[in-house]
Structure 1
Amino acid sequence: MHFKIAAEDKTNHRYSGVLAHPTSFPSPYGVGDMGKEAYNFIDFLHMAGQHLWQVLPLGPCGNGNSPYQSFSVFAGQPLLISPDLLIEKKLLTREDLEPIPEFNPDKVEYTKVTEYKTGLFRKAYQNFRHTSDKDLLEEYDSFQKNNEFWLEDYCLYMAGKDYHENLPWYEWEDSLLDPTPAERAAWLKLLEKEVDYYCFVQFCFFSQWYALKDYANEKGIAIIGDIPIFTSPDSADVWANKSMFCLDTKGHPLEVAGVPPDYFAAEGQLWGNPLYDWKAHKKDSYRWWIERVRHQLDQVDYVRIDHFRGFEAYWAVPAGEKTAMNGKWKKGPGEELFRAIEKALGEELPIFAEDLGIITPEVEKLRDSLGYPGMKVLQFGFDGLGESSFLPHQLDTRNCICYTGTHDNDTTLGWYQHTAHQNQDKVRRYMNTDASSISWDFIRICLGTIARYAIFPVQDLLNQGSEHRMNTPGTAAGNWEYRFRAGLLNEGMAKGLRQMTELFGRFG
């Protein structure tokens, strides 16, 4: 059962909250984690009268450190594991953490952090192998049994990457690239310790995550997760489920995912993800997708589905293209997929639809037939002097989520500083402001809309500029690194946000 406010969506309740990926939290270990500062963040939300915390995908990041290009859509990001909580479990000592490198407090240095934390996890695993803690061992056994659908595939895949010095799976030898049952058993025996290590790391991640989620729910806060529509080509998901993707005999995509030219990129965005063989998924009664959504809804209370329009029709680009401009639209599974998931899970799905980009009447019909809230981004409403469906007075339904901006947008302050003068003037006149605290002006307007949900990135709470944005679509470097410092989310800010939240009927 999901957190109670998910079941109240059809009432007149109004909710608000903050978008902040856990990697952005303060931490002495170079990256935000599920330790003390994560709990402090939840305490801040509670103090501020918020009921929603939105995160990005929580999986282990591959190349580029993007949470939308993960080694697995089921596994958790090891970098989010808190060393301090491992100490509490007696899997590490305080001395094991030394020396702690000097990390950048404003940016995640992924290579440096990964090297440091992997060393800690290896130590923790060795200690775990010699533990006499029966409760911990029973928890580990239960975790393995409860995650059979994906866990062994992921752990063998990761062990295989280590064995092959991080080569993608489609460059492995045939006996592991597409193993027979006997070959798989042989590889599991050969890589037994590494497979068990990766299983242990996932056990640590989910143990810490579920404890954090329980704490959030106890404080009246629901967590919004994120499901990327596509999977990374070099992932356990594709390696273990080749028949569900459009691949050639060597495992390479025949076509790849992307989007045509739009607001974010003049040449479109070439994501490079393999496309689904939807006929194969239908033949299998959508089992893989059912298990994927089931697993996500075990971790979070709501799920935002990224690139929702791709379920109606998706942009297919021939493999080898340098841009996304030469693709074409192909039909997706539509409503049938989601009805199959609903039937299997026995409940109405608490899903948010990311419906930005090129949205057709067919996409709107799919979204509305399923009853999923769509997204309204305030920044888009002020890009130009004309009317826009993203302007507050043009919102035509309460069943939506109003954002000041998203992880793909510039921060509100950065956007305002760089937008055209006539757009700045429109903002000032519309909001009756001198723009001296433009981020909070946007937050106020966002809270005041008819949208049932109002969400704003933590950067907007902190009134931070473009140098603090999370992601710039279409660029390969410098993304997903944002961090904020301890103490910035203080009691005074919480009181101010709480008063504003109460004013617009989103508290209680």
Structure 2
Amino acid sequence: MSFKRASGILMHPTSFPGPDGIGDLGPEAYRWVDFLKETGCGLWQLLPLGPTGYGDSPYQCFSAFAGNPYLVSPTLLLEEGLLVRTDLADRPEFPEGSVDFGPVIQWKLTLLDRAFNRFLQTPIPAFQAEFAAFQAENAGWLEDFSLFMAIKEANQGSSWNNWPKGLRTRQKAALNSFRQQFQKDILRHSFRQFLFFRQWKQVKDYANQQGIQIIGDIPIFVAYDSSDAWANPDLFYLDEEGLPTVVAGVPPDYFSPTGQLWGNPLYRWDAHAKSGYAWWIQRVRATLKTVDIIRMDHFRGFAGYWEVPAKMPTAEIGQWVPGPGAALFEALTQALGGLPIIAEDLGEITPDVIELRDRFQLPGMKIFQFAFSSDANDPFLPHNYPANCVAYTGTHDNDTALGWYQTAPDVETDFCRRYLARSGEDISWDMIRAVWSSVAVMALAPLQDLLSLGGDGRMNFPGRASGNWTWRCRPSDLSPALAARLRELNTLYSRLEE
């Protein structure tokens, strides 16, 4: 599938301003779309939208299909009569520039429960019909997910491998008994999903009307503690007790002497192949309802992945195992038509990864920050980009452009200044200009780089267990002057979305 020349900003909805301690899908989401429109950008990239668990990471979700209920906007629930003003009277004081997840989660769940109780007590016919239609349309994943979350809740939030055996192994009698006893709790989780997808669809429709396409994100692996692994144990390497026998990671490299032990369960690709990759087709189809373009995280894992025996303390001991390769993407193409997919092809890339990416003409990723540790032949330097790639100043996993510049070795920052023919005084925008002026079909930067923020604006430190994903922008950040400055670059470099 070919893409048109465009530009965009990486900004996750949790980072919007707003009074409830975390960005949401209310007025600030629409203000954000309006800001993007003013800049002339045609793309908005975000992180996975799933329900986050331990560590608040969007890459470790309780489901590959569900949405994050913490993003539901109380302001919109108030407008629609599911909340009343007194429901918001006990709102805590939240910090403006960051997300304090503990208190935020407590507050958002309190509001969602109030909305659910009002829905039950004061039925709104239009809502009821819409909710019933949502349940029917999404039954393929929603029933398992809502049941999973209700059982998890009834077991004090513990991981599913610690549940009573009948529930852990999905014995029919145990599940039926639980459904009868906890019917309302299961319904409550379905209702939260209904609210999320209802609000998200309105935001996406508005963005599309403004000529803006949304780039979403599919993490290759699912979390072990997810409804996906619990409901489909035959699709993963799990033993009879439901515990992983092997897990995902990446081997030791220059940056990490012991590798990275991710701990996600690994797919039984032979079982997926037997079903014609039905679960993956369902997953990608569901994601394409919520976004326009998908960034496929850890793309190299489809060619080959690092398999670590379970219970290993690090990722040092493991082996490379072939992934599904072209067979998966052939099945997706056949089921879905064109593949609006960006391949996250960073890290140690082998010829088979490049061959798989190019066979399906998927654009890869180029990160400008990575360009200065070698010489003029470095593939991350703009003069070496192919047109069919997506270029970034940096991503959510990198430091900000300024943060990188302030901490990189002198030899790299010297090369950077010489390459850009700039003093480095306005390094974030110098790097943005270099990426925008390149031949890359898409050019993107995190909002933090447009704001010239240092390392304190960083979104994620890979390998750090907590304290990530907290950055939020302030209402004054999205200024007309900033929009005009970016619009000028879009105009100069033929990336303007009219």
Q: Is the shorter-chain TM-score for this pair beyond 0.5, marking a shared fold?
A: yes
Q: Which runs of 5+ in 2 are unaligned?
A: none
Query: In the alignment, is the contact (CA less than 8 A) between 2:65 and 2:141 conserved in 1?
Result: yes
Q: Does 1:451 align with 2:416?
A: no
Aligned length: 497
- Counterpart of 1:37, as a letter, is E
The residue number in structure 2 matching 1:381 is 371
Aligned equivalents of 2:407, 2:293: Cα separation in 1? 33
The equivalent residue for 2:13 is 22
Q: Partners in 2 of 1:440 and 1:386 — Cα distance?
A: 21
Structure 1 match to 2:466: 477
> Do residues 69 (structure 1) and 60 (structure 2) align?
yes
CA contact (8 A) 1:444 1:500 kept: yes
Aligned to 1:115: 106
1:363 equivalent among 353, 365, 371: 353
* Cα distance between partner residues in 1 of 2:466 and 2:165: 33
1:18 partner SS: strand
* AA of the residue aligned to 1:391: L
CA distances 1:396-447 after superposition (whole Å, capped 9, x unpaired): x211100000111000000000001121111111111111111111110010
Matched-pair contact (CA < 8 Å) for 2:8–2:41: yes
Q: What secondary structure sits across from 1:104 in the alignment?
A: coil
Distance 2:254 2:61 in 1: 25
Counterpart residue number, 2:39: 48
Verify: 1:87 aligned to 2:91, yes or no. no
Q: Give per-residue Cα distances to partners, 1:354-405, cap 9 Å, x unaligned.
A: 000110010000000011110000000013445310001111x211100000
Check 1:490–1:263 CA distance in 2 against 1; reply closer, same or farther (3 A cut).
farther
Q: Conserved in 1, the CA contact under 8 Å of 2:169 and 2:242?
A: no
Say whether 1:490 aligns with 2:445: no
Of the structure 1 ranges 154-163 and 101-110, higher mean CA displacement relative to structure 2 is found in 101-110
Cα distance in 2 for partners of 1:273, 1:244 equals 13
Matched, 1:500 2:489: yes
Task: Give the one of 414, 422, 425 matched to 1:425.
Answer: 414
Query: Counterparts of 1:364 and 1:262 in 2: how far apart (Å)?
Result: 20
State the Cα distance separating 1:265 from its structure 2 match.
3.0
Structure 1 stretches lacking a partner, 5+ long: 1-6
Residue 164 of structure 1: aligned partner: 155
User: Which of 402, 406, 409 matches 1:413?
Assistant: 402
Provide the rounded CA distance (Å) in 2 between the counterparts of 1:259 and 1:447. Answer: 32
1:265-304 pair list within 5 angstroms? 265-304=256-295
Please tell me whether residue 180 in structure 1 is matched to residue 207 in structure 2: no
Q: Residue in 2 aligned with 1:3?
A: none
Amino acid at match of 1:20: M
- Encode CA deviations 1:453-498: one digit per residue, 9 max, x unaligned: 0010011011111111011111112111111111101111101100
| Cα distance in 2, alignment partners of residues 82 and 471 from structure 1 | 24
Instruction: Give 3-state SS (helix, strand or coil) of 2:305's partner.
Output: strand
Percent identity between matched residues is: 49
How far is 1:182 from its partner?
A: 3.4
Q: Is the 8 A contact 1:106 1:483 kept in 2?
A: yes
Residue 158 (structure 1) shift: 0.3
Paired residue secondary structure (2:308): strand
Cα 1:264–1:504 shift into 2, 3 Å: farther
- TM-score, normalisation: structure 2: 0.98
Alpha carbons 1:246, 1:255 under 8 Å: kept: yes
Say which SS state the counterpart of residue 266 (structure 1) adopts: coil
Q: CA deviation at 1:286?
A: 0.9
Structure 1 counterpart of 2:428: 439
The question of whether the paired residues in 2 share the 8 Å contact of 1:264 and 1:473 is answered with: no
Report the equivalent of 2:315. Answer: 324
Instruction: Map Cα deviations across residues 287-309 of structure 1 (whole Å, 9 max, x no partner).
Output: 11110000000000000010000
Q: How does 1:457-468 map to 2 (within 5 A)?
A: 457-468=446-457
Contact between 2:369 and 2:401, CA under 8 Å: does it hold in 1? yes
C-alpha distance in 2, partners of 1:320/1:254?
8
Residue 341 of structure 2 aligns with which residue? Answer: 351
CA shift, 1:130, in A, is: 2.2
Report the Cα offset of residue 263 of structure 1.
5.8
CA contact (8 A) 1:263 1:357 kept: no
Q: Secondary structure at the match of 2:330?
A: helix
Runs of 4+ deviating beyond 4 Å: none
Mapped pair 1:403 → 2:392: yes
Aligned partner of 1:106 among 88, 97, 104: 97
- Root-mean-square deviation (CA, aligned residues, Å) is 1.1
Q: Which amino acid is 1:229 matched to? A: I
Letter in 1 for 2:53: G
Distance 2:405 2:32 in 1: 27
CA distance in structure 2 between the partners assigned to 1:170 and 1:331 by the alignment: 28
Q: Note closer, same or farther for the CA distance 1:192–1:280 as it changes in structure 2 (3 Å cut).
A: same
Whether the 8 Å CA contact 1:20–1:457 is kept in 2: the answer is yes
Q: Aligned equivalents of 2:51 and 2:491: distance in 1?
A: 38
Q: CA deviation at 1:250?
A: 1.1
Aligned to 1:392: 382
